Structure 1
């Protein structure tokens, strides 16, 4: 049995979103390498300060992540994406300007990464919420695979290039390149014709708190969504404990050049790319839920090799372990995002994505701070070991959930009408049917 409308590439707007996303991810990944290296090598940042810098880069999801979902549901999708990328371009450009004027400081880097994170909140939530509108739900597996592959490819190119640019051209010039990439992305996004309309008309809007609570109930009221979110949050927590300490470990303790750190992170991007490439085939063969559980069992323990990193052969061993662990991440990104989108009706997409991103990226912020604290008090390698153990066991919530037997993509049913009371319309409630097959032509049907 074949899929109807199998390719999202038929959509002009999806091609626009993909091209703009390529530039946006490139800018983000260059900054991911260049900003902490600038802090460590030029401004003398120690493990605690490096951890704080990494934590602030994702703290925005804890600060505004939940209301951002309700705001995204109220705003036209394209405007959100364009404004977010334009803001990130300005913020990145401020770093080389301050450097050339001789006034760059750690507090400015803290402010830039925090505000950049706020813009990223809106971009990430907005892009994931717009995707079903741009390609249709029947194309989501292929579209998400393409976008995760893009993210991985940008990780390879951006982090590898970021390390080399820092090594040969200095960090400020690398960050300026990231600002140009963001600006180009914002320009490209203006060409999207179809955009996700506001989910709720202004006259029908309720209090922001009530809309946020509805998104929280949707995520935490589902055993499948709870397991997906908890597993991803644990993976992010462990990964960020490792990533926050790698600049210190590579440059100070091992004496390796910036290019080596960029190459190590690029290996992780290659792993995500491989995982995204095989995710759909694994889902067809094993089932959408079982593929995530089994891939965690197969690949996640390899991350323990990262804690053995050293110069010489052990650098290659650690790099191979990181690559294998990121294969699992690539598989989980494609199938996990697709499952979340299928389990969520259109009016709740922004709030669902914001709730999940709040928890997932909040885990990154906590992981950065925790990595910096453990690195400062117990040693950098201890922090890396702790992160690796957390990451290796992150798939266990999936193993203990109904997802371990889930084969088909679930179908979202129509809203459940609630009785009005006291002159106010009750908030709509939704349910999904995990065991039900999608309609013919779904990307989740077995061939």
Structure 2
């Protein structure tokens, strides 16, 4: 049954505080999204090496994504989000020092991108579980649309051009800006009431493995979500394939430089931004299916 349009109902201050923190974190992620391929390309001209840095950022979703979901089930979202962002601030601090002092290497960049990817996996997963504790059920579509819009604006629209421009000014600057945005996000999260999305659901397993195994078994039996997961995986694989070498194509074939690379990334965000802004109206009119 389609949901009623609830555009006139306010989402509330706790949601907008949470949204601000998430958007800041995603702006930092977008800055890093452009800066990491540019940094890799400055260290090696080998397409495999450049693609490996991009793959290292996405690999945690494959190897730790299920564990992140189980962890989000057992821990309070507010605490988990703050811990994930603080851990990423530490990694970025080490990377900034390495780049600024000239001892950054491709293996170090690979390790940093992988660790930051783990933090992003935990953060993004926990952010999704926090929404039901922030807004009533009837507002979930609109709240999720706003959250996704902030993610797209930060990750794809604002962050990449800023990251590319900062890289031109100084290779360490985009990673320092990423760390600063995450630190501000943590400060905002800590202003949320402890009761907001702070307690894990009752009756969840204490160990991560049973939760992961149970979740996989449940997904295998659910035809619609199983099909959706497979289709999403195929689309994500296609996206990752072209994005991994886009920086080399932009620089060597299009000759647009670092700033042009950031603008190319931002251009791809327009469709996603439009979709996230109308999703609640579409659901209200036609239903989720």
Q: TM-score, normalised by structure 1?
A: 0.60
How far is 1:8 from its partner? Answer: 7.1
Q: Tell me which residue corresponds to 1:94.
A: 94
Give, in whole Å, the separation in 1 of the partners of 2:284 and 2:4. Answer: 12
Which has the larger displacement, 96-105 or 259-268? Answer: 96-105
Q: Tell me which residue corresponds to 1:62.
A: 62
- 1:265-292 CA-to-partner distances (Å, cap 9, x unmatched) read 1011122111112223333344322xxx
- 1:285-327 CA-to-partner distances (Å, cap 9, x unmatched) read 44322xxxxxxxxxxxxxxxxxxxxxxxxxxxxxxxxxxxxxx
How far is 1:5 from its partner? Answer: 6.2
Give, in whole Å, the separation in 2 of the partners of 1:275 and 1:240. Answer: 21
Give, in whole Å, the separation in 2 of the partners of 1:234 and 1:67. Answer: 21
Which has the larger displacement, 215-224 or 110-119? Answer: 215-224
How far is 1:206 from its partner? Answer: 5.7
How far is 1:255 from its partner? Answer: 2.0
Give, in whole Å, the separation in 2 of the partners of 1:63 and 1:103. Answer: 29
Q: Tell me which residue corresponds to 2:145.
A: 145
Q: TM-score, normalised by structure 2?
A: 0.91
CA RMSD of aligned residues (A): 2.0
How far is 1:67 from its partner? Answer: 2.2
Give, in whole Å, the separation in 2 of the partners of 1:55 and 1:190. Answer: 32
- 1:128-168 CA-to-partner distances (Å, cap 9, x unmatched) read 0111121122111101110111112112111121222223x
Give 1:32-431 correspondences, 5 Å limit.
32-40=33-41, 42-154=42-154, 155-167=156-168, 169-193=169-193, 194-200=196-202, 205=205, 207-289=207-289
- 1:54-101 CA-to-partner distances (Å, cap 9, x unmatched) read 111121122222222222211121110001111112212222211222
Give, in whole Å, the separation in 2 of the partners of 1:161 and 1:207. Answer: 41
**Tell me, what secondary structure is at the counterpart of 1:171?**
coil
How far is 1:102 from its partner? Answer: 2.1
Q: 1:152 to 1:50 in 2, by over 3 A?
A: same
Give, in whole Å, the separation in 2 of the partners of 1:50 and 1:173. Answer: 20
Which one has more relative contact order, counting CA pairs under 8 Å at least 6 apart? 2
- 1:222-277 CA-to-partner distances (Å, cap 9, x unmatched) read 22211221222111111111111100111123322111111111011122111112
Which has the larger displacement, 204-213 or 175-184? Answer: 204-213
Q: 1:256 to 1:108 in 2, by over 3 A?
A: same
**Tell me, what secondary structure is at the counterpart of 2:24?**
helix
Q: 1:106 to 1:9 in 2, by over 3 A?
A: farther
Gapped regions of structure 1 (runs ≥ 5)? 290-447
Largest Rg, 1 or 2? 1
